Structure 1
């Protein structure tokens, strides 16, 4: 089972003068809500996680949802034998997560994991569901922390684009 999580950083707080109601997409994706993220296979007790403290958490969730859609562009869907690939690069770093989908399964590898570590593997449908749930839960958490964020049109659009499955 896939578990996706985050922790906001206390070392890189958001600027106190931020007006979350009108923050633009660039600020929301790259400048605010820094912390760490992880993807975990709870059955195998393995995870890919950052420990840098500066990963834009909302951007990670947003990009993960984009990637699950990108991996589903083949009209054959889960019957497609040809692998479909995607990458998630971390802002301000050369580290990446690599996604490869084949026959409805997605393998996830990271630059920052050990070379002998096998990739995490999940059903594409599970990755899509958990990515969207993670995004929706994260937005709810961030809106609890910063009430004005709930009034941001970019957040409305994001939530509408990636509803829970």
Structure 2
């Protein structure tokens, strides 16, 4: 089972004068909602997580949804033996989270993992559903915390671009 989660940082709070209703894409993706993120395999009790406190969590959720779609560009889908690669780079560091799809399975690993650590492996279908659920749940949490964010057109567009996927 896949669990994707986050925690917001107290060390890097959003500027108090932020107008979330009119925040632009750059602010939403790079300047606001900093914290840490993780992807965990709850059956194997392993995870890939950050511990820096400055990762823009909305950007992570957005980028993860983009990556899942990028890994699905082969028209043969889960029947494809060709390896498809994608990476999520963290803006303020050289670290990357790496994704590799073959057939219907996606391996997830990170530059900072120890060499003996195995990558996390999930079905592409599960990763897509959980990434989109994570995005929508994160947005709901952020909207509850930040007045006006739910009225931001960028958020509306993001939610419509990546709708929830039925189980």
| TM band (smaller chain) | over 0.9
Q: Hey, what's the Cα distance between the residues in 1 that align with 2:115 and 2:94?
A: 17
Q: How many residue pairs are counted as aligned between the two chains?
A: 165
Deviations 1:26-71 (A, max 9, x none): 0000000000000000000000110000000000000000000000
Q: Hey, what's the Cα distance between the residues in 1 that align with 2:28 and 2:44?
A: 33
Deviations 1:73-95 (A, max 9, x none): 00000000000000000111100
Q: Hey, what's the Cα distance between the residues in 2 that align with 1:9 and 1:22?
A: 23
Q: Hey, what's the Cα distance between the residues in 1 that align with 2:143 and 2:164?
A: 17
TM-score (norm 2): 0.98
SS at match of 2:148: helix
Unaligned stretches of 5+ residues in structure 1: none
Task: Tell me what 2:34 maps to.
Answer: 34
Task: Tell me what 1:159 maps to.
Answer: 159
Task: Tell me what 1:93 maps to.
Answer: 93
Q: Over aligned residue pairs, what C-alpha RMSD do you find?
A: 0.4
Task: Tell me what 1:149 maps to.
Answer: 149
SS at match of 2:73: coil
State the Cα distance separating 1:147 from its structure 2 match.
2.3
Task: Tell me what 2:48 maps to.
Answer: 48
Q: Hey, what's the Cα distance between the residues in 1 that align with 2:58 and 2:125?
A: 21
State the Cα distance separating 1:20 from its structure 2 match.
0.2
SS at match of 2:28: helix
Q: Hey, what's the Cα distance between the residues in 2 that align with 1:11 and 1:113?
A: 24
2:1 maps to 1:8? no
Task: Tell me what 2:133 maps to.
Answer: 133
